[in-house]
Each structure stands twice: as C-alpha cells, then as structure tokens.
Amino acid sequence: MFKKKLFYTLIAVLMVAAAALTACAPAAPAEEAAPAEAPAEETLAVGIVLPTKDEPRWIQDETRFKEALTEAGYDVEILFSQGDSAKEKTNVESLISKGVKVIIICPQDGTAAAAAAEEANKAGVKVISYDRLIRDTDAVDYYVTFDSIAVGAQQGQYLIDNATGTGNPLYLYAGAASDNNAFIFFEGAWSVLQPKIADGTFVIKNSSEAVALQDKATLTRDEMSKIIGQVTTNWDFNTAKGLAEANLTVAPAADKGNVFILAPNDGTARAIADVFGVDKDVTSFFVTGQDAEKASVQYIIDGKQSMTVWKDVRTLVKDAIGAAIALLEGKEPVSKGSYNNGVVDVSAIQSAVVTVDKANVKALLIESGYYTAADFTGLE
C-alpha cells in the first residue's frame, strides 16, 4: 500500500518534471535564434573620416570603430584623407551625397577642415570633431577627445621623475602646428617642465625660441607657435628623424651625455630614439611618446623608448558612437565641459590617459586584454 502510494507519487513527480521541461523547452531554441534576428549590418546614417592610414594610431581607431560597430550590428563607411585637406573635403562631400546625417571627423588640419564642416552643416549634417578639434568655425556640434593637457603633463613629468641634479640636457620636439592638439600637448608638458627649467634641473638644447621664453610659466598660443615652429616634427617620422639628426650634428658633446627628450608621440619617438641611440656622445636617454602603438610597446619592452601615454581608443570610439546616436535622435550628447575653437565653445567629452613604461606595460596593455602577448617578444 505504502509502496503503491510511493510509486504513484513518483509518477506524479516525474510528470510534473516532464511538464516543466516541456514548458522550458521552447526557451532554448528561442535564445539560440535571438542573434539571427539582430540587425545584421544595418546601415547607420553616420560616416567617419580619419586623417591617414600611414600612422598606426589611426589604424587603431579604424580597427576599434569596426569592432564596436560590428558588435552593435552596424555598417558604417570609414574614409581616410591621407594627410590631405582637399581629399578630406572630398570625403566629407561623398558622405553627404550618400545621405549620412552625422559625420565623425578627425581633421588633418584643424583650420582647413572648417570648410568641410561648414559644407556638412549647410547640408543639415551634424559634425563631431574626433580627437582633434576643428577650428575657427561654428559648424562643429560636438567634440570627443582625450585629456590632451594630461598627455603633455605626463610626458613632462616622466622626464622630471627620471632626472637628478642639475644641468640635464633637454631636447624638445612637438607635433604639427596644423593640429590643435600639438599646442595642448606642448602646453601640458611646458606646465610641468618650465619650473624645472627655471630651477636648473633641465637645460634646453635645441630651441632658441624656447630658451627665450623659459622664464614664462604659461605661454600664449603665439609664443607656443614660435617654439613649435622650431621643433615641429609635423607628426612625420622622417621629419622627426631629420630634425633630431640636425640637432645632434650642431650640439657639442657637452650637450649630450644623459639626455632627456620630449617627443610628442610614438611614431616620432621611435624615429628620434633611433637617432639619439646611435650618437656616440649620447650615453643614455629618456624619451617620451603617446598612443601605445604596438611598435612602441615593443620599443618599451626592449628599452628603446622610455614611456608612452596610453589613450584607450575604445573609449573615444564608444563616446563618438554614443554622441552620433544621440544627435541622430535629435538629443544633446552628454558633455562635460567645452573647448574653445577660436570661434565657439564646442561641447566636449574627455577621456583620461595613463602613463605606461617598462614596469607596468604588461599589466596595463597585455593583462588588460588591450593587446595580446603574442604580438610582442621579450615580455617578462
């Protein structure tokens, strides 16, 4: 009797379980089917224009844009201007004619890009300035950027942290004068280096304009222009190499020894480091950079470049896409402050940057998953 009851109870339990399983069953295929229903490669009414394929920095941005857009299920056109403002304008015009509603543009030349931005604006297309600010026009709707003052300040601080005593030779290099960022990076670096030049820790060796201004804690744009005019790399590796060679050719051995070099970004840092590295009177050197380009990460591992400032491009890409979507929906993108472009204050969002050197390169760039270990040799 008891056994029979148990038997029926068991049957009942099994039936309930079976019913529950059947009820659950449709859920599994539905879940599996979900990705197939997601918008596969839907076209987003946004176009992207980047400055050049010739610098790994902008290939990083292209790659990260593609990753983020593919993940979101969007297909977007990315065009390169190859260092040419005329090509950039043609790129913008081509996107306008294809019916995009928002253009994300990193200008080759901040001022020259105003014409392209104004054309977009007249066509009712919103313009997001990406990484570099488009200057001297009100046709810019929004700006996504890194904290460029911090980039320069971290570069300068790295040199300071590695210098002892006084009279340390300092060689200054800058980006392109056509890029608003070049001024901001220099301003950030000057803000920390100038007091250390004033107190004798560093002695500037390659710019008479910088020497003439070395007692000024803050410089006007015109003053910075004078210095940048003398030490510009134009963001170009060969120009950087040629300038470093010219500087070392005229510098006496006494201006060499243990040298400190403010190099504005990774590409120019590698070019400049290669030149300083073969000068027999340069016994050692510290050289800065920025962008965490793979080639420079390898240089840092190998002890050929001292540091880089890592700008996590994924954040910039995410902010730019977020702003584009807000503008498409007729909303104001989230902004935290603004940047004056010479004509208007452009609402902006800004991301933090991080100093990377040999001591933390593995933890920050490899273990974080930003790059894979297999891309490098000699990682400890």
Q: Rule CB under 6 A: which residues touch ligand BGC?
A: 55, 57, 131-132, 175, 179, 181, 235, 265, 290-291
Nearer to ligand BGC, 53 or 122 (CB): 53
**Cβ–Cβ contacts within 10 Å for residue 163, how many?**
17
Nearer to ligand BGC, 131 or 209 (CB): 131
- Shortest approach of ligand BGC to residue 291 CB, angstroms? 5
Nearer to ligand BGC, 316 or 364 (CB): 316
Q: State the maximum Cα–Cα separation within the chain, in Å, rounded to a whole number.
A: 109
- Shortest approach of ligand BGC to residue 57 CB, angstroms? 5
- Shortest approach of ligand BGC to residue 241 CB, angstroms? 15
Nearer to ligand BGC, 235 or 299 (CB): 235
- Shortest approach of ligand BGC to residue 45 CB, angstroms? 26
- Shortest approach of ligand BGC to residue 248 CB, angstroms? 23
Nearer to ligand BGC, 176 or 251 (CB): 176
Nearer to ligand BGC, 126 or 132 (CB): 132
- Shortest approach of ligand BGC to residue 311 CB, angstroms? 6
The 3-class secondary structure across the chain, one letter per residue, is CHHHHHHHHHHHHHHHHHHHHHHHCCHHHHHHHHHHHCCCCEEEEEEEEECCCCCHHHHHHHHHHHHHHHHHCEEEEEEECCCCHHHHHHHHHHHHHCCCCEEEECCCCCCCHHHHHHHHHHCCCEEEEECCCCCCCCCCCEEEEECHHHHHHHHHHHHHHCCCCCCEEEEECECCCCCHHHHHHHHHHHHHHHHHHHCCCEEECCCHHHHHCCCCCCCCHHHHHHHHHHHECCCCHHHHHHHHHHHHHHCCHHHCEEEEEECCCHHHHHHHHHHHHCCCCEEEEEECCCCCCHHHHHHHHCCCCCEEEECCHHHHHHHHHHHHHHHHCCCCCCCCCEEECCCCEEEEEEECCEEEECCCHHHHHHCCCCCCHHHCCCCC
Nearer to ligand BGC, 129 or 201 (CB): 129
Nearer to ligand BGC, 201 or 350 (CB): 350
